[in-house]
Amino acid sequence: MTPFVKNKKCQENRPPDTFIFKYRKEFNDMAVLSYPKLGIRPTIDGRWGGVRESLEVKTMGMANAAAALISGSLRYPDGTPLQCVINPGTIGGGAEAAACENLFSKNNVVATLTVTPSWCYGSETFDMNLGTVKAVWGFNGTERPGAVYLAAVMSAYAQKGLPAFSIYGRDVQDLEDNSIPADVAEKILSFAKCAIAVGWMKNKSYVNMGGVSMGIAGSYCNDAFFQKYLGIRAEWVDLTEILRRMKIGIYDRGEYEKALAWIKTNCKEGFDKNEGVELHDLAVKSKVVPPGEDWDFIAKMTVIVKDILFGNPKLSDIGWHEEALGKNAVAGGFQGQRNWTDWLPNGDFTEAILASTFDWNGAREPVAFATENDTLNGAAMLFGKLVADTAPVFHDVRTYWSPGAIARVTGKKVAGSAANGFLHLINSGAAALDGTGAAEGRMKPFWEMTRDNIKACLDATDWCRADYGYFRGGGFSSRWKNIAEMPVTLLRVNIVDGVGPVLQIAQGQTVLIDDDMTETLWRRTDPTWPSTFFAPELTGKGAFTDVYSVMAAWGSNHGVTVYGHVGAKLITLASMLRIPVAMHNVPETEIFRPHVWAAFGTDCAEAADYLACEKYGPLY
């Protein structure tokens, strides 16, 4: 057999280090410039000779005030302030509108907010770019008819097939009043937050690690959905890639050693439910990684998964330039069961810690990373994270517990927020540790997470040996329960044949019950898994008639919770993406959709939403 030798010719033709450095620098510079931005278009009555001149200061003042509000209130998912691009002058006609578009096209403007205190020439000044999400703020004043322009341009947008959001203050303001009323500010921020979420997803990747898990329909990646509705590229990585990198050493050894040391110091082990259990011969044969080496394997796997998703320039330093680039991920998922977990340590730690707001490097942006690679729950994780700025917590929507069933099983009655019963949300071993509520009774954006908050979440979590009946390859599952009552929003994306994607939303709160009741209910499923008790807010009608109705209407076995009642923002985001909302319990007064949605009917907003989304079709 011919021995394997290095190819000298390939080594001689290797690009010089200066080229590699230059390429990496240009690549990183492009990444910095790629932040999606919100463009602000100050439009004005184009008549020179007194009219236009009298409005210049007011119009530019509105633009600057809107930009200050947005950049001062909102952040990108990585924690940096949201960036606005203000057109340097007012827009009074088509030539200036074209110049504005030219400026925006060079700055990755993905959404525009047109502002005006006056009448303007609608179809001459409006944003006609098919690729931007649009809104118009018309000043509610009497001196100049900004509201008249707002109505006229909404009519133009409707006729041109360009959905746009209408922003108009409830109360009349004086022309010299340069403040932004609270109701206007709320709509501007809601629009900006969701529009930038649209831009943040675009041209990134959903990375499928492995194949289909246990026949779960959401685990079949619908690449057309991701491409056409979200602008996301679907990529696939066989799980053997993790083993290849382990075997050859394609990982950052310093990062791995840091992660392992952190795990051993901070991730306390819980009970081992396998102790004293006579294991089936198949389970014994399948445990190829010795139990004492599980954490070593898991730490290495987690570091490698991060590198696959996002890249790591240190891999280039050791000669692996392609691997150093990563997959430009915005979300992903790990198949796990069963081709991996039947013989290798499970992905529970990897999934849980990626979705949390911290790891061994401290506080950092959480990752929408789906258990069992349920891609549709991965999309829901992404939506929730983008609008709430908090960790997305993956759940099985496992059980409806009625008050009667709780009393029969535990011998106790529930009261308070649990009085109507609740849903037991419990995932098979992995969920973001933020879901404990240990960070001062909240789930916080990562930029607010302190060392004490991180420690509290870690202290509230035990890492139990995986159930060898489920996970023959072993590993560790995250055992925690919610220890605070928190407002949360449960959401899920489903795909329905003949309809397409739909979104489900249920606002509610996590509930606390006493420890004995918790343990009794927990042990009826698996006490090594993360547990949340959720009570949806009820409306007395439809899917929210009672808690049972919410469970009965839920479209899948999975769902996601994020902190706060963000259902209104999710509805706004869904309308931008042309995804109808199948169920929600958001008050009608909080819903903010494109103005033209009203043209599809006002008596039944849900039906109008379906019709509008069907009419306009996927965003891309």
Q: How far is CA 236 from CA 201, 211, 220, 241, 433, in A?
A: 18, 8, 11, 11, 27
Q: What residues contact 334, with CB distance under 8 A and at least 6 apart? A: 209, 210, 305, 340, 347, 350, 351, 369, 370, 371, 372, 373
Query: In 3D, which of 222, 352, 339 has the Cα closest to residue 286?
Result: 339
Structure tokens at 474: 């072993």
Q: Are 334 and 209 in contact (CB under 8 A)?
A: yes
CA distance 600 to 606: 10
HEC letters along 209-273: ECCCCCCCHHHCCCHHHHHHHHCCEEEEECCHHHHHHHHHCCCCHHHHHHHHHHHHHHCCEEEEC
- Is 342 annotated as catalytic? no
DSSP 439-469: BTTB---GGG--HHHHHHHHHT-EEEEP-TT
Q: Where are the beta strands (DSSP E) in 285-440?
A: 329-334, 358-359, 362-363, 368-371, 393-401, 422-426
DSSP 566-583: -HHHHHHHHHHHT--EEE
| Pairing outcome for strands 393-401 and 558-563 | antiparallel
Cis peptide before 338 (omega within 30 of 0): yes
Q: Which residue out of 255, 351, 396, 609 is catalytically annotated?
A: 396
CA distance 215 to 461: 30
Q: Which residue out of 372, 434, 467, 526 is catalytically annotated?
A: 372
Element (H, E) at 135: strand 133-138
First to last CA, the chain: 54
CA distance 245 to 222: 28
Radius of gyration (Cα) for the chain, nearest Å?
26
Q: Are 110 and 36 in contact (CB under 8 A)?
A: yes
CA distance 531 to 539: 25
DSSP class of residue 81 equals: B
Q: How far is CA 437 from CA 198, 433, 452, 483, 556, in A?
A: 28, 8, 13, 6, 25
- Is 606 annotated as catalytic? no
Quickly count: other Cβ atoms within 10 Å of residue 177's Cβ.
11
In the sheet with 133-138, reading across from the earlier edge strand, the strands are: 84-86, 37-42, 109-116, 133-138, 164-168
Q: Are 371 and 427 in contact (CB under 8 A)?
A: yes
**Which residues are part of the catalytic machinery?**
372, 396
